[in-house]
Amino acid sequence: MTRLYIGNLPFSVAENDIKALFLPIDGSARVTLLIDRQTGRGRGFGFAEVDPERCTDVIATLDGATLNGRRIRVEPARAPGAKETHNTSRAPTDTRIRRRRQMSPPPATSTRPKTSHTLSIPDVQRRR
C-alpha cells in the first residue's frame, strides 16, 4: 500500500466523506484523519493508503478537487520524521529574487521636471 497525504481539508469533514471520494478510484483505500485533542474536530489533513497501481490515478483525479468549498491537496506522503529540505544559504535564489521583483511596487514617477540642484561657484559667491 502507498501512503498519500491529503491536505487543506475542511475541519468539519469526516473519514466517511473522504472514503466516498476515494471509493470510485480505489475501493480498498484506508483513510485516517487527524483529530485535534482539545477541540475534537479535524486538523485539516489526513492520510490514505491506496493500491500502488492506482496511486497516480488517485493523485491525478483528486489533487485540486473541491470538497465543501475547499481545494484539497493529494500527494505522496513523506516518510515520518522527514523534514522538508530548503535552501539555508544566505544568497538569494532565482525564485526569491523573482518573488521580490513581483512583490515590489513599481518605481515612483515624478511629474516635476528634473532640475539640477547643484550650485556653481559664482552663484555661491553672489549670495554672500
pLDDT digits (tens, 9 = 90+) for 45-54: 999 999 999 9
Distance CA 3, CA 32 (A): 11
Residue 33 · residue 19 · CB < 8 Å: no
Fold of 2-76: Alpha-Beta Plaits (3.30.70)
Q: Is 14 left (phi over 0), alpha (psi -120 to 50) or beta?
A: beta
Say what angle helices 55-62 and 15-22 make with each other, to 10 degrees.
110
Nearest to 30 by CA among 16, 41, 40: 16
Q: Is 81 left (phi over 0), alpha (psi -120 to 50) or beta?
A: left
Q: Is pLDDT above 60 for 128? A: no
Q: Which pLDDT score is estimated for 84?
A: 63
Tens of pLDDT, residue by residue over 44-86, are 999 999 999 999 999 999 999 999 899 999 999 988 777 666 5
Longest CA–CA separation in the chain, Å: 94
List of residues 6+ apart from 50 with CB closer than 8 A = 1, 2, 4, 22, 25, 26, 28, 29, 58
**3-class DSSP state of 30:** strand
- Please tell me the least confidently modeled range out of 27-31, 49-53, 110-114: 110-114
Provide the percentage of residues in the chain whose pLDDT is more than 90.
41
Q: Which pLDDT score is estimated for 42?
A: 87
Nearest to 48 by CA among 69, 73, 66, 70: 73
- What does pTM read for this prediction? 0.62
Q: Which pLDDT score is estimated for 47?
A: 95
**What average pLDDT is seen over the chain?**
79
Q: Which pLDDT score is estimated for 80?
A: 77
